[in-house]
Amino acid sequence: MIKAVIKTSRYRIDISRKVCEIINWRQANGRLKDAACREVLRKMDSKGLINLPAPHPSSYIPNNRGIRPKEKWDGFFKLNTELIEEVLGEVGLRITNNSASRNLWEYLIDKYHYLGYKRPVGASVKYLVYSDERLVGCIGFATAVLKLNLRDKWIGWTIEQKQKNLHLVINNVRFLILPWVRVKNLASRILSTASRQVQEDWESLYECKPVLVETFVDIGKFIGTCYRASNWIYLGRTKGEGRSGMNYFVHNQPKDVYAYPLAKDYLRILKCTPPQQTILIEEPTSAVAHNFCPDRDSCGLLQQALSQKAKIEA
């Protein structure tokens, strides 16, 4: 099927969208998961399973691809780096809803956050944090981690419940207080403000209302004081494994995992079992999924979509 779709278009984006439409691979809000699909298709192309057309010239900027934000925007933004130690006024979060604010967020994260900037896969919400009209930090949220045993055991959901409701969990992927800002308890204030605002903003953008936030704390650098002070729940410590694209690997850097409920009945919502579904296609799709994606690690998401979504309708 994928090879047949490739023959109908010269553009990768058209191919990924068509594949998503055929297997009905969509986000909770109904939008196609074409970005995730393109990632899987690129992986399949690199393994020689399919032959994608060359990337369209407009999909990248010559001599600019791979340049990190801290290099690309160095000297572009005029920042007030005067030391701040006194107690600040009310904390406000401004969502990055235009190219200027997004570029500033990426620049600050890439320059001052120890992990740097990495483009998130899937949905995300990013904020610039201000107090008394002074820029004091950044915070960002993205879709939840696909596999996290500590979280899954704590929630106690079934595989089916997780597959249907994982989109209701989001991840606090970045949190930065600028190095010249040294105000006591500021971090916990920002987290409290963000937890009240992100649910509404996420729903406005993606038409689904998250009920739980998760995050990781690198125990080699931090002890998670601000999360504990903001009443986040400690779930435990990871085994030091990570994910790059669709591949999992051991990095031997354990992290503490915290979670924060955004709704009182979050467990009931997350463990809600979907209604019975009606089978529409008689032929099993497992064999089709195997032929498309023999590499389970690199094509797990597409396998899941093919084996479950292509043959059922809610």
pLDDT recorded at residue 281: 36
Please report, for the domain that includes residue 168, its CATH number: 3.40.630.30
Question: Which of 255, 270, 285 lies at the terminal end of a domain, its last residue?
Answer: 270
Encoding tokens for residue 314? 């809610």
pLDDT recorded at residue 310: 39
Instruction: Note whether 225 and 253 are same-domain residues.
Output: yes
pLDDT recorded at residue 32: 81
Count of domains forming the chain: 2
Instruction: Note whether 286 and 244 are same-domain residues.
Output: no
Tens-digit pLDDT profile for residues 132-180: 889 999 999 999 999 999 999 999 999 999 999 999 999 999 999 999 9
Could you tell me the residue range of the domain that residue 141 belongs to?
68-270
Instruction: Note whether 253 and 281 are same-domain residues.
Output: no
Euclidean distance between CA atoms 190 and 110, whole angstroms: 20
Q: What percent of the chain has pLDDT over 70?
A: 81
pLDDT confidence band for 25 (50 / 70 / 90): confident
107 inside domain: yes
155 inside domain: yes
292 inside domain: yes
pLDDT, mean over the chain: 82
Helix/strand/coil (H/E/C) assignment for every residue in the chain: CHHHHHCCCCCHHHHHHHHHHHHCCECCCCCECHHHHHHHHHHHHHCCCCCCCCCCHHHCCCCCCCCCHHHHCCCCCCCCCCCECCCCCCEEEEECCCHHHHHHHHHHHHHHCCCCCCCCCCCEEEEEEEECCEEEEEEEEEECCCCCHHHHHHHCCCHHHHHHHHHHEEEEEEEEECCCECCCCHHHHHHHHHHHHHHHHHHHHHCCCCCEEEEEEECCCCCCHHHHHCCCEEEEECCCEEEECCEEEECCCCEEEEEEECCCCHHHHHCCCCCCCEECCCCCCHHHHHHHCCCCCCCHHHHHHHHHHCCEEC
Encoding tokens for residue 261? 């409920």
pLDDT surpassing 50 at residue 286: no
**Mean pLDDT throughout 215-243?**
92
62 inside domain: no
